[in-house]
Amino acid sequence: MLSRPIVLLAPGETARGEELVRTADVAFTDADAAHPGFRGKVGATVLPFDGKYGAFTDADARGQFMAGLGFVQPPGIAERDDDTSFYVEIAPEQARLLDGDVLVALADEGSARRQVDSDPVLRRIPVVARGDVVVPDADTRGAMTYNSVLSAPYALERLVPQLAGKLAG
Contact 38, 32 (CB under 8 A): yes
Q: Per-domain residue ranges for the chain?
A: 15-168
The pLDDT, as a whole number, for residue 165 is: 96
Per-residue confidence band for 134, with pLDDT thresholds at 50, 70 and 90: very high
CA distances from 99 to 11, 88, 126 (A): 46, 14, 6
Fold classification of 15-168 is Rossmann fold (3.40.50)
Report how far residue 74's alpha carbon sits from residue 139's, in angstroms, rounded to the nearest whole number: 26
The pLDDT, as a whole number, for residue 49 is: 85
**What's this model's pTM, rounded to 2 decimal places?**
0.87
Read off the pLDDT of residues 46-86 as tens digits, 9 standing for 90 and up.
998 888 899 999 999 999 999 999 999 999 999 999 989 99
Please tell me the number of Cα atoms within 13 Å of 116 on its side-chain side: 26
The pLDDT, as a whole number, for residue 12 is: 72
Read off the pLDDT of residues 26-47 as tens digits, 9 standing for 90 and up.
999 999 999 999 999 999 999 9
